[in-house]
Structure 1
Amino acid sequence: TWYTWLEQGRDIRPSAQVLNTLADALRLDEAERRHLFTLNNRQAPQAVSSAPECVDEPLQRMLANLTHQPAYVLGRRWDVLAWNRAADMLFGGYDTLDRDERNIMHRLFADPAHRKLLVDWESVARVSLAMFRADSARYA
């Protein structure tokens, strides 16, 4: 009965831990797990990979085709993993930076040349830091 109510989205309020245990016991795949959490108005925990981050070829091609729009792809730590020529021209040569310097937060707080690009640096810094903290919480 309890599980039926769960599927029906009734107000039984299981914890995220209970939902995770249930999903494991039922051997739910990622989509089914998300659905279970959605039925219960909860955010599904995301699987965190410790593997090195890389950008697949189709996404690389898409970036290259965005000739007039600066664009880049960020990793889970806000490292710039890939970028197009327009981003390189606007924000400066990513390929000349050390890997650790290709981080949005590093550039925002430690790169004086990058700071000069931002008209209202203090406002941008506050918003960016808040967004970074919220985004990073998933990878604690």
Structure 2
Amino acid sequence: MRQLNFKKLSILFLFICIALSCQSCLVGRCKRPQIIGYIYDSITRQPIANCKVGENLTDTNGYFQLKEQRYSQFTFIGYEAPPILVNEEIYKENYEKKSIQLFNPFGGGNRKGNIHNADTIFLKRILITTDYK
């Protein structure tokens, strides 16, 4: 009698485990979309070459491209996508620092190949002043 109950409980437990695993899955999540754009001088309106944007540098036309970053997450069906919070620093010597900031409360669910066009970003040159006394 006890063996029969143990067998039934084992089968029931196995069935529950299989049912739960069928409702879960490994999904690709977006950590940062691909970001593209241009960096220009705010006064001369000329492109700024070799400006550091995130982990990359701009080319001679001021163009930059940050690659999309993705990760895998084990989740259950019906769970909401996580938010995206991106903060990429823009830096060039003798220019004021800026950053590209993105927030999307459900952006982690974006499909592969998502592109954010940052358009044209203007950096202001730092004027060097000297004190002649």
Q: TM-score, normalised by structure 2?
A: 0.19
Which structure features the higher share of helix residues?
1
Q: TM-score, normalised by structure 1?
A: 0.19
